Amino acid sequence: MSLDRFTEQVRSADDLASIIGTPSALAVKKELPSLDEHMRRFIACSPFVVMSTHSADGRCDASPRGDAPGFVHVVDERTLLIPDRRGNKRVDSFRNILETGSIGLLFLVPGFGETLRINGRAAIIRDEAWLTPLAVQGRRPLLAIAVEVQECFLQCAKALLRSKLWEPHQTPDLQGLPCAAQMFADHVQMPEYDVAAMQTLLDESYRNNLY
């Protein structure tokens, strides 16, 4: 395996603690079993969440989800609803949830350094009464993910400060990075989809198939 080339791997929690140390009381006590008012407001302001799941055989997946701020609906202090918008039908996250029922969420708010982390259980739902209020532009989602919150806490801003993610003067250097159409065309290796055809497909999908 490719990881075998690394000969000094950390293989136990004790080894990890001896290198990193142990968390402070503050870092431990910030974890809550349910959403408080601050967290509910954070979710209401968030237009973007990274959703992490894993399959029964341990394969992991992290999938972006985004829409207008507050698109993730807070039902109560222990329950969230994430509407499924139109995508590519791979449904990797859904398959993982069917297998394990586990989920991790990372909410971001543009311009805000801290992030909100939520871990819990998940189920795929199609109850019309719950899906109808999640409609956008007259389109009700076919499905939604219901999340039972088990633990939640704010993550400090160090990662976003180091990355300067929200600093407007930090224009990323994209030199050497091809356009998305080029990357997709190279990945799929389908003769009917050269770069031009792929760009047309992407443009039409982004224009017509968001909801």
pLDDT of residue 204: 92
Question: What does the mean pLDDT of the chain come to?
Answer: 94
What digits encode the pLDDT tens for the residues 109-135?
Answer: 999 999 999 999 999 999 999 999 999
Where residue 87 falls among pLDDT bands split at 50, 70, 90? Answer: confident
pLDDT of residue 169: 75
Q: How open is the CA angle 25-29-34, to the nearest 5 degrees?
A: 170
Strand order across the beta sheet in which 48-54 lies: 60-66, 48-54, 102-108, 115-125, 144-155, 79-83, 73-76
Q: What is the mean pLDDT of residues 6-33?
A: 93
pLDDT of residue 91: 95
pLDDT of residue 20: 95
Q: Are strands 73-76 and 79-83 parallel, antiparallel or unpaired?
A: antiparallel
Task: Say yes or no to pLDDT of 80 above 90.
Answer: yes
Q: What is the mean pLDDT of residues 178-183?
A: 93
Task: Say yes or no to pLDDT of 172 above 80.
Answer: no
| Residue located via tokens 């919150």 | 149
Prediction pTM value: 0.91
pLDDT of residue 170: 67
Task: Say yes or no to pLDDT of 168 above 90.
Answer: no
What digits encode the pLDDT tens for the residues 54-68?
Answer: 999 999 999 999 999
Q: What is the mean pLDDT of residues 145-155?
A: 97
State how far the Cα of 163 lies from the Cα of 157, in Å rounded to an integer. 10
pLDDT of residue 171: 73
Q: Are 43 and 80 in contact (CB under 8 A)?
A: yes
The dihedral built from the CA positions of residue 86, 91, 92 and 94, taken in this order, carries a sign that is positive
- Helix, strand, or coil (residue 24): coil
pLDDT of residue 26: 87
Both structure tokens of 113: 């350094």
Q: Are 79 and 149 in contact (CB under 8 A)?
A: yes
Task: Say yes or no to pLDDT of 141 above 90.
Answer: yes
CATH of domain 30-163: 2.30.110.10
pLDDT of residue 30: 93
Where residue 107 falls among pLDDT bands split at 50, 70, 90? Answer: very high
| Buried b / exposed e along 82-92 (16+ C-beta atoms within 10 A) | bbbbeeeeeee
Q: What is the mean pLDDT of residues 16-24?
A: 94
Both structure tokens of 51: 């959703």
For the chain, which residues make up each domain, given as ranges? 30-163, 174-211
